[in-house]
Amino acid sequence: MLKGFFNVPEPSNEPVRNYAPGSKERGSLQAALKAASDQVVDIPMYIGSEEVKTWKKPHLSTLPITDSIYWVNFTRVTKSMLPKP
């Protein structure tokens, strides 16, 4: 049995947003998704401290919500890129 005085703060959550069609929250979300889909991010690979890019044949990743919008270029490692032990 606990013996003592405890002062536990009242829990509070962040506000629940509606995202209903035509709402301010939905408009800002759609604007952020549009801005993200308009740019392609290049993600380089590092081996040691050296940046390695193989953009001759870029590897593209699509947005999770669609298969038609590419948003990331990334480099895949091959055995020939790794240093010899």
Each residue of 46-67: pLDDT tens digit?
A: 888 888 777 565 667 777 777 7
Residue 64 resides in a domain: yes
Residue 33 resides in a domain: no
Q: How confident is the model at residue 44 (pLDDT cuts 50, 70, 90)?
A: confident
Residue 30 resides in a domain: no
Position 1 scores a pLDDT of: 65
- 43 Cβ contact partners less than 8 Å away, ≥ 6 residues apart: 72, 73, 74, 75
Residue 52 resides in a domain: yes
Residue 18 resides in a domain: no
The model's pTM: 0.51
* Total count of domains within the chain: 1
Q: Which domain holds residue 68?
A: 40-77
How far is CA 39 from its chain centroid? 13
